Amino acid sequence: MLLLLDDETGTPAAAGTLPYALGGAVLVELALMGRVETDGKKVHAAGEGPLGDPLLQDAYDKVAAWGPGRRGAT
């Protein structure tokens, strides 16, 4: 997140890419928790049980909804 900020003004230098950066950060967090895995092309839900964070739970639920055989931005 800090890499997106302009060094002099402190404002986002690439505001158009912010949603992608945040989405990537959420996926990395889920991966570090062992809740998503990749086969090299797609991301798949892994593990089970509730997550303690509502944001992560929502992201996990969206990945899980795009299970095998469905196409989408996972």
Give the model confidence (pLDDT) of 3-17 as tens digits: 678 788 887 777 777
Who contacts 30 (Cβ-Cβ below 8 Å, separation ≥6)?
Answer: 36, 56, 59, 60, 63
How far apart CA 39 and CA 51 sit, in angstroms, is 23
DSSP E strands: which ranges in the chain? 36-38, 43-45
Question: Are 45 and 60 in contact, with CB atoms under 8 Å apart?
Answer: yes
> If pLDDT is split at 50, 70 and 90, which confidence band does 74 have?
very low
Domain containing 40 equals 18-65
Examine residue 70 and state whether it is found in any structural domain, yes or no.
no
Examine residue 52 and state whether it is found in any structural domain, yes or no.
yes
Which pLDDT score, from 0 to 100, does residue 12 have? 76
Examine residue 39 and state whether it is found in any structural domain, yes or no.
yes
Examine residue 73 and state whether it is found in any structural domain, yes or no.
no
CB atoms within 10 A of CB 58: 11
**pLDDT tens-digit readout, 22-63:** 899 999 999 999 999 998 888 999 998 999 999 999 999 999
As for how many domains the chain has, the answer is 1
Examine residue 10 and state whether it is found in any structural domain, yes or no.
no
